Amino acid sequence: MSEAKRRGLTEQQCAPLSGRFTEQQIAAAHVQPKPSITDKVQVAEVQRLLIDLGHLTGRADGVVGPRTEAAVKTFERARQLPPTGTVDDKLIVKLKEAQQAKLARAKSDEAKTLAQLREESRKVREETRKGEARITGLKKQAEQLATLRAQKPTKQPVRTDINFGNYHALVIGINRYHNLPRLRTAVADAEAIADVLKSKYGFSVSTLINPTRTQILDRLDNLRAKLNRTDNLLIYYAGHGWLDNKADQGFWLPVDARKNFRSEWVANSSITGTLKAIKAKHVMVVADSCYSGRLIRGVQMAELNDRSSAYLKQMARKKTRVVITSGGLEPVEDGRGEHSPFARAFLNALNRNDAIMDGTNLFNAIREPVMLEARQTPEFSNMRFAGHDGGDFLFVRRK
């Protein structure tokens, strides 16, 4: 305190000071405060600026009181200035700078908001366009399906002079996976299809419900040993499938399959190899599983309108190895109701047929309904590396 007095400070200036002081503290205390603004117009301007910046509430009355001083101090602290509470020219400059900065931020925020609104509007327009295009496509498909359903098929009596041979089916359905997500409808699909094949088409049906890899391969080997050149074999599989992109290999996944471990998987090559060796003249695989399109060679079957006796005899004579899949190299939908979209279409086609239906007609009856109901596209072709020789599988209605 004596040092402060030695420098010529008054008692009033020294009153707030105690203890030890730095040279800067004493020099600052020695500076005489500048007179504050008392003009009501200017004070009112300061108050309006403080109100605009959110530091003061109420109205601008042009009077510097405790409320205004407190607001000034709040502003000064926010700007990291010494909280003096003094209304002067410097304060007005600082307030105007803060107001300009606020306006600049508001303008920038407005520009960002407008840009976001434009982008959202663009996305909405794009989604609307896609939705309208999809609706148009679905309407067109629905019209085509209605036209197909309206067409009454010409009943073709079963030709007694054609030897169609004996019909066998291996029907596989897997729901209760041990290590993978369970399916809802695969077993119900398999059981319903097995029943139709047996009761309406006279198939000798063998079913495997929730089988292991060994059980599937053993049953295929039994068929290989049992069937001869006059037989027909249909294999229906409903369950998980997997595609190994690096190995370019597809797999069926039995009930005990594990993710990333192939020891319990059934490779497409095992299926095609077995079917190539089986003596049965006509073999069709119907696969309702993800990535089942890997079974297909990639050459689509041509649609023929000829269903004459000569055509049927030719198809019955030629070796056949064909595949109908519920989708290509894509995931396919499990059923939301009693059956999957693919199984439901397959059952409907079998039930509506009242004479002889070849694989091409069967596929045409399945494809449209599945595409309308699910985001998957069934495929039909000859089987890769299995000895196909241009024939087709014939479904002969018995009852």
Angle of the 213-226 helix axis to the 268-277 helix axis, nearest 10: 10
pLDDT of 176? 92
Per-residue confidence (pLDDT) for residue 6, from 0 to 100: 55
Please report the pLDDT score of residue 33 as a whole number: 46
Distance from C-alpha of 235 to C-alpha of 256, rounded to nearest angstrom = 20
pLDDT of residue 32: 43
Q: If residue 92 lies in a helix (H) or strand (E), which one and from where to where?
A: helix 89-150
Nearest to 48 by CA among 57, 35, 36, 39: 57
Chain mean pLDDT for the chain: 81
At 163 the pLDDT is: 81
Give the pLDDT confidence of 324-340 residue by residue, as tens digits: 988 765 555 665 678 88
DSSP 362-377: HHHHHHHHHHHHSS--
User: What strands lie across the sheet with 282-288, from one edge to the other?
Assistant: 204-209, 166-173, 231-238, 282-288, 320-325, 379-383, 296-300
Span of 119-128, 261-270, 333-342, 372-381 with lowest mean pLDDT: 333-342
CATH topology for the 152-396 domain: Rossmann fold (3.40.50)
Contact by Cβ (8 Å): 190, 209: yes
Fold that domain 2-97 belongs to in CATH = Muramoyl-pentapeptide Carboxypeptidase; domain 1 (1.10.101)
**Highest-confidence segment of 4-13, 286-295, 313-322:** 313-322
393, two tokens? 């599988």
pLDDT for 167 equals 94
Residue 294, judged by CB atoms within 10 A of its CB (0-12, 13-18, 19+), counts as buried
Q: Which residue has the higher pLDDT, 136 or 386?
A: 136
Q: Can you tell me the mean pLDDT for 32-60? A: 80
Mean pLDDT of 247-268: 88
Q: Which of 178-187, 199-208, 310-319, 321-330 has the highest mean pLDDT?
A: 199-208
Residue found by looking up tokens 């241009």 in the block: 390
d(CA 399, CA 201): 7
Summarised one tens digit per residue, pLDDT across range 240-250 is 988 877 777 88
User: Which SS3 state, helix, strand or coil, does residue 363 take?
Assistant: helix
| pLDDT, tens digit, 9 for 90 and up, residues 263-312 | 899 988 888 888 888 988 889 999 988 756 555 544 344 444 455 667 77
**Which pLDDT belongs to residue 250?**
84
Name the 3-class secondary structure at 346.
Answer: helix
Chain centroid to Cα 199, Å, comes to 39
**Residue 355 pLDDT grade (very low, low, confident, very high; cuts 50, 70, 90):** confident
The share of the chain scoring above pLDDT 70, in percent, equals: 78
Residue extents of the structural domains in the chain: 2-97, 152-396
DSSP classification of residue 258: B
- Do residues 319 and 387 touch, judged by C-beta distance below 8 A? yes
Is residue 74 pLDDT above 60, yes or no?
A: yes
- What is the per-residue pLDDT for 174? 94
**How does 69-97 read in b/e, with b if 16+ C-beta sit within 10 Å?**
bebbbbbbeeeeeeeebbbbeebeebbee
153: buried, middle or exposed (CB in 10 Å: 19+, 13-18, 0-12)?
middle
> Of 167-181, 321-335, 363-377, which gets the smallest average pLDDT?
321-335
In tens, the pLDDT along 188-233 reads: 999 999 999 999 999 999 999 999 999 999 999 999 999 998 899 9
Nearest to 94 by CA among 109, 113, 107, 81: 81
- DSSP lists the bridge partners of residue 320 as 282
Backbone dihedral angles phi then psi of residue 186, each to the nearest 5 degrees: -60, -45
* DSSP code, position 261: B
Distance CA 145, CA 368 (A): 7
Q: What is the pLDDT of residue 208?
A: 95
- The pLDDT score that the predictor gives to residue 328 is 65
Owner of token pair 């007179």: 35
Tell me whether domains 2-97 and 152-396 share a fold.
Answer: no
- pLDDT for position 299: 36
Percentage of residues of the chain with pLDDT beyond 90? 29
Greater pLDDT, 157 or 228: 228
Rounded alpha-carbon distances, angstroms, from residue 311 to 198, 323, 391: 26, 20, 10
Overall average pLDDT of the 172-199 stretch = 93
pLDDT at residue number 20: 53
Question: Considering Cα of 160, then 164, then 168, then 174, what sign does the dihedral take?
Answer: negative
- Tell me which amino acid residue 125 is: R
Q: Are 295 and 273 in contact (CB under 8 A)?
A: no
Q: Which residue has the tokens 């070796």?
A: 319
